[in-house]
A and B are shown apart, each in its own frame.
Chain A
């Protein structure tokens, strides 16, 4: 290579490096928000029907408003400082309950509107709740509306002959206006709507059922069954539909024609007249669960008298979502900051992955005058130490996850808030394996664990030792006495079960997901049981995905777990353990327990209901399919310059109540 070229190359390289450095050091300066908090990680989505975790909930509770909202109610607990909360008016200015506790009438505010100025009407709630329940949305919290008639069948896609059904044709529109049947590709969306037909299901024709090979794995079998179900042909008597402005009403008795439908156009039993469809579902929104006599009135009919229904409407899965925005942009575009339309005290102004979500005050919120802080940054800071460093140097005003190692020092500080939360740390027991299938052994283990040592020497943030299932602090509920530690009793039980002095007990493994904190607790328990009952435990840690797999397949001896209340009612903890429940994963089953839970669900008297639930809990304690370890505390650190922050039972902190002491000082 000639010398000149080499020189040119060297110069070129130097120029390129200079350009790169200039590029790398250019930044778009962004003024800091008035208030910033550690949100833990990125919200996975801003769609209220798809979100699940707490980083999402912190954003959604403040970017959207439901019929009701959780607000402080009454004086804080003098001992713990815990501020009781209750569901109070938000988009609904008031509501009434009928005497049978089955009908709720919500009266919406006249001035409720979306952040783009579109008014919010009762129809928005019907559409949102139908979307939340629709199987295509795959909302994990869909069960919160299962007390509405037909909701569960609609959501799980179960139809029976004779049902009044809706049929969605395979012609969903794409954002560009073309339709699926023209493009030839499915438009997979959260609750899109192609052409809807309504009618009565007359017959389901099924091709021969495929053979399930138990040798191959569950997923493959599930796929096989799924494909088989897609080839079913549905015969439906199509009913006449009457359009009345924005409402449609179905005249179920007026049969227009009889048609056949199938999801798979190449199904062996379909003929050329069979129309391609997405789903045949029970017509939830046409069967009277929800009524909208006018724009400001929403009537909800329940099938069970749920005393906690009002507080469910204050939880984000039941918040309304903007139909006009979702239909215009579709998923995932509608949640982009430039497109999203919401109705809460704040709107999403900016979202940068791994960095922040910026919330900006929504001037169109019904109570905007009371909102003090204009901009809030929810930083996706994950590192516990990083967050504390940022807090100490003034980059953060609120830390939601302080470092565990420093708990003892931090606890002493005035800006440290720890208060009991409705959540439980526990160990699942595989009740199908020997020797843990014997309730006496489970009780013996539970009674031999010294929880005080765990909360005082390991977790150290003021957690409360747990001997029962339901955390204290739910109004009107008193847990039955739990299994307090009692070594003599534990030893006696062990002997009774045939293992005097722990002799002959096979090795038992504790499974936990890899984490320092979980390991420390498991080690303490390992040592305690070795010393007291002479039971040898082995510890096994697993990475999160594999750990969940093992737990769900009940392929463990003892496995750690945690549960946070979905709503402030004992039922959220108790119904986990019904036979075959999706979260049960212990193999435990008790018909009396199941019966009590069912009875409680149908009970209209609040006191009797709580008594039934307490009875169920005492059975659970007697049988110990799960060992409760401690009740979590909600831990937060908030700068003294912030007013309006208080610990709450579900760790919900409405941003609109926060004020900075000196509004002029940005930081």
Chain B
């Protein structure tokens, strides 16, 4: 336990450092890019632009902007007012969009794990059969096809040809199913391949052979002795999987018109909404860091050979 809390504390320290580094790099990059939040096709008169810059503290010396904003984030978790969506603070934008993105990611991941592990186990147990081959071929396709292509196909199939799902939008369970499937499929495909490889490796281990030799039923050997070991690579893949689900949702949110935070990410960057872009970058940083830490911790708990360092 002491080991664990020490580890978490160290990781927390690293996270603060990472956040600071990401903040600094983003801050500098954003101000180096040509254009500014107030540029539009209709040129803003200089007097008005000065007023706007003052409103968002952009007229202060850069170093002052840098520290003021950082202090606000650290002491009050205040990410400021969105420059482009001016009726909203960045915190409000996150509060509205994050639950949507989170629901989508959770459903996609749960779907991916369930489908991926099942398919992996079946194809490893029935190695070399038609079922194995077809499932692994599907998995390769699943990894190769980008999710927006999959989304278009899925819409064609399940919205127009067999109308069971609505075309887009947010608010009912039916509306979230299709995007979650499209988002989870590539991850499921990858997990299936990882599970199959892990299963095959463990199946050839001596303790498994012993278990079979003792006459244990196949089912309990697979579930109790093979699967736990085979799932280790899957667990370690969950960190990157979360990342891919979160970033993959940027495209799907547009295709399915979902009110998540992904689309804000793109808009904040292209419209030079400094505060919103910063809020997005930092949120994703923290999120990915936390997810990776959780994965590492659970990895150590599942596999006694792994030490937290």
- Residue positions of A touching B, CB distance < 8 A: 1, 5-6, 9-10, 13, 17, 20-21, 23-25, 27-30, 42, 44-47, 50, 52, 135-136, 138-140, 142, 155-157, 188, 219, 222-223, 226, 331-332, 335-336, 352-355, 379-383, 385-386, 389-390, 392-393, 395, 543-546, 548-550, 552, 561-562, 582-583, 585
Cα distance A183–B102 in the bound complex, in angstroms: 39
Listed A/B pairs (29) with beta-carbon separation below 8 Å: A1-B304, A20-B106, A21-B106, A24-B104, A24-B107, A44-B86, A45-B86, A46-B87, A138-B49, A138-B52, A140-B42, A157-B47, A188-B54, A188-B55, A353-B96, A355-B259, A380-B259, A381-B168, A383-B168, A389-B159, A393-B160, A393-B166, A395-B168, A545-B36, A546-B33, A549-B35, A550-B34, A561-B41, A583-B43
Closest Cβ of chain B: how far from A32's Cβ, in Å? Answer: 9
| Known A29-B172, A390-B169, A548-B40: A138·B87 in contact at CB below 8 Å | no
Interface residues of B in 59-100 (CB under 8 A from A): 59, 81, 84-89, 93, 96-97
Residues of B within 8 A of A393 (CB): 159-160, 163, 166-167
- 5 A-B pairs with the lowest CB-CB distances in the bound complex, closest first: A545-B35, A354-B259, A24-B103, A389-B167, A355-B259
Q: Are the C-beta atoms of B110 and A21 separated by less than 8 Å?
A: yes
Q: Write the nearest CB–CB distance from B72 to chain A, whole angstroms.
A: 13
Query: Do the beta carbons of B103 and A354 come within 8 Å of each other?
Result: no
Shortest C-beta distance, B111 to chain A (Å), equals 10
Which residue of chain A has its CB nearest to the CB of B165? A393
CB closest residue in chain B, given A352: B259
Task: Decide: A352 and B96 in contact? CB cutoff 8 A.
Answer: yes
Given contacts A6-B301, A42-B85, A392-B167, contact A548 B47 (CB under 8 A): no
Asked if B193 lies at the interface with its beta carbon under 8 angstroms from chain A, I say: no
Residues on A with beta carbons closer than 8 Å to the beta carbon of B272: 545
B25 in contact (CB, < 8 A):
no
Instruction: Check A27–B172 contact: CB distance below 8 A.
Output: yes
Query: What residues of B have a CB within 8 angstroms of the CB of A585 in the complex?
Result: 43
Known: A24-B103, A354-B264. A386 touches B298 (CB 8 A): no
CB distance from A35 to the nearest CB of B (A): 15
Bound-complex Cα distance A135 to B96 (A): 32
- Asked if B110 and A17 make an inter-chain contact with CB atoms under 8 angstroms apart, the answer reads yes
Interface membership of B255, Cβ < 8 A: yes
* Interface flag for B287 (CB, 8 Å): no
Residues of B within 8 A of A382 (CB): 254, 257, 263
Contact A27 B302 (CB under 8 A): no
Residues from chain A with a CB closer than 8 A to the CB of B49 are: 138, 222
B171 and A28 contact, CB distance less than 8 A: yes
With an 8 A cutoff between CB atoms, is B209 at the interface?
A: no
Chain B residues in 8 Å Cβ range of A582: 42-45
CA distance A216 to B121 in the complex (A): 65
Q: Confirm or deny: B289 has a beta carbon within 8 angstroms of a beta carbon on chain A.
A: no
Question: Whole-angstrom distance from the CB of B306 to the nearest CB of chain A?
Answer: 10
- Cross-interface CB contact of B50 among A47, A226, A336, cutoff 8 Å: A226
Point out the residues of chain B lying under 8 angstroms from A17, CB to CB.
Answer: 110
Closest Cβ neighbor of B81 among chain A residues: A332
Residues on A with beta carbons closer than 8 Å to the beta carbon of B176 = 24-25, 27
Asked if A140 and B44 sit within 8 Å, CB to CB, the answer is: yes
Closest Cβ–Cβ distance, residue A391 to chain B (whole Å): 9
Given A27-B171, A45-B85, 8 extra CB contacts under 8 A: A5-B301, A29-B171, A45-B87, A139-B48, A332-B81, A379-B169, A389-B167, A395-B166
> Do the beta carbons of B256 and A386 come within 8 Å of each other?
yes
Q: Does B210 contact A (CB under 8 A)?
A: no
CA distance A1 to B298 in the complex (A): 12
Please, how many angstroms separate the alpha-carbon atoms of A27 and B171 in the complex? Answer: 6
In angstroms, how far is the closest chain B Cβ from the Cβ of A331?
8
A583-B48 in contact (CB<8A): no
Which of B257, B264, B270 interacts with A383 by CB under 8 Å? B257
B51 contacts partner chain A, Cβ-Cβ < 8 Å: yes
B116 at the interface (CB under 8 A from A): no
Chain B contact residue count (CB 8 A cutoff): 68
**With a CB–CB cut-off of 8 A, which chain B residues contact A136?**
51
Known contacts A25-B173, A156-B45: does B259 contact A386 (CB below 8 Å)?
no
**B244 at interface (Cβ–Cβ under 8 A)?**
no
Q: Can you list, as one digit per residue, whether each of B120-161 has a CB less than 8 Å from chain A (1) or not (0)?
A: 000000000000000000000000000000000001000110
Cβ-defined contact, B39 with A552, below 8 A: yes
- Which chain B residues lie closer than 8 Å to A28 at the CB level? 171
Query: For residue B41, which residues in chain A have a CB less than 8 angstroms away from its CB?
Result: 548, 561-562
Residue of chain A at shortest CB distance from B258: A354
Say whether B97 contacts A354, CB under 8 Å.
Answer: yes
Is B292 interfacial (CB-CB < 8 Å)? no
Is B93 a contact partner of A381 (Cβ separation < 8 A)? no
Known A-B contacts A353-B96, A395-B168; A52 and B42 likewise in contact (beta carbons under 8 Å): yes
Closest to B50 in A: A226
Contact B54 A13 (CB under 8 A): no
Chain B residues closer than 8 Å to A20, beta-carbon distance: 106, 110
Cβ-defined contact, A353 with B85, below 8 A: yes
Bound-state Cα–Cα, A72 to B49, Å: 37
- Taking CB atoms, residues of chain A closer than 8 Å to B87 are 44-47, 332, 335-336
Provide the bound-state CA to CA distance between A550 and B48, in Å: 20
Task: With CB as the reference atom, state the residue of chain A lying closest to B51.
Answer: A138
B86→A332 contact, CB < 8 A: yes
Minimal beta-carbon separation of A330 from chain B (angstroms): 12
Residues of chain B in range 270-292 having any CB-CB distance to chain A below 8 Å: 270-272
Asked if B46 is an interface residue, CB under 8 A from chain A, the answer is: yes
Complex CA gap A406/B167 in Å reads 18
Do A27 and B81 have beta carbons less than 8 Å apart?
no
Contact for A353 among B45, B88, B256, CB less than 8 A: B88
Q: Cα distance A138–B52 when bound, in Å?
A: 7
The digit string for B233-259, where 1 denotes a CB below 8 A from any CB of A, is 000000000000000000001111111
- Residues of A within 8 Å of B50, CB to CB, are 222, 226
Within B294-309, the residues touching A (CB, 8 Å) are: 298, 300-302, 304
- Shortest distance in angstroms between A186's beta carbon and chain B's nearest beta carbon? 8
| Cα–Cα, bound, A6→B167 (Å) | 44
- Contact A13 B298, beta carbon cutoff 8 Å: yes
Closest to A42 in B: B85
Q: Is the CB of A386 within 8 A of B102?
A: no
> In the complex, what distance in Å separates the CA atom of A157 from the CA atom of B50?
11
CB contacts (< 8 Å) of A353 on chain B: these are 85, 88, 93, 96-97, 259, 264
A21, B96: Cβ atoms under 8 Å? no
Contacts of A223 in B (CB 8 A): 59
Chain A nearest Cβ from B276, distance in angstroms = 11
Cβ of B184 within 8 Å of any chain A Cβ, yes or no, is no
Which residues from chain A contact B186 at a C-beta distance below 8 Å? none
- B260 sits at the interface (CB 8 A): yes
Q: A27 to chain B: which residues have CB within 8 Å?
A: 171-173, 176
Closest to A542 in B: B34
For A24, list chain B residues within 8 Å (CB).
Answer: 102-104, 106-107, 176
**Bound-complex Cα distance A667 to B59 (A):** 51
A-side contacts of B97, CB under 8 Å: 353-354
B170 to chain A, nearest CB (A): 6
How far is A179 from B45 in the complex, measured between Cα atoms in Å? 30
Residue from the set A381, A393, A582 with the largest chain B CB neighbour count within 10 Å: A393
A265 to B168, CA, bound (A): 56
A24 to B286, alpha carbons, bound, how many Å?
21
Q: For the complex, give the distance between the alpha carbons of A302 and B302 in Å.
A: 80
Could you say which residues of chain B place their CB within 8 Å of the CB of A135? 47-48, 51
**Nearest CB of A to B297, in Å:** 9
Report the separation of the CA atoms of residues A543 and B43 in the bound assembly, to the nearest whole angstrom: 17
CB distance from B242 to the nearest CB of A (A): 12
**Residue with the highest number of chain A CB atoms closer than 10 Å, among B106, B168, B259:** B168
Please name all residues of chain A whose beta carbon is closer than 8 Å to the beta carbon of B300 when the two chains form the complex.
Answer: 1
The answer to whether A23 touches B171, judged by C-beta atoms less than 8 angstroms apart, is no
How far apart are the CA atoms of A6 and B44 in the complex, in Å? Answer: 62
Verify A30–B171 contact, CB threshold 8 A. Answer: yes
- Give Cα A550 to B97, complex, Å: 34
Roughly how many angstroms separate A381 CA and B88 CA in the complex, as a whole number? Answer: 19
Rounded to whole angstroms, the CA-CA distance of A21 and B40 in the bound complex is: 43
Report how far A381 CA is from B81 CA in the complex, Å: 24
